[in-house]
Amino acid sequence: MKAFAIEELGRSGSVQEVPVPEPAEGQVRIRVAAAGLNPFDIAVLQGYLK
């Protein structure tokens, strides 16, 4: 699956292929069609907020 990974605050993140985790007992896996970033998320990524 694809995941947006952030290695370090203040640096750009990247989309990476990662293994699909198996759900544990009592959990379910859902399919996410889309996700977004808002201005607060961008500020955290850029290191302005911690």
CB atoms within 10 A of CB 44: 14
Tens digits of per-residue pLDDT, 20-32? 999 999 999 999 9
Distance CA 48, CA 50 (A): 7
Tens digits of per-residue pLDDT, 4-50? 888 877 777 889 999 999 999 999 999 999 988 889 888 888 888 76
Distance CA 14, CA 22 (A): 23
- Which three-class secondary structure state does DSSP give residue 4? strand
Q: Are 6 and 13 in contact (CB under 8 A)?
A: yes
Structural tokens at position 30: 């859902």
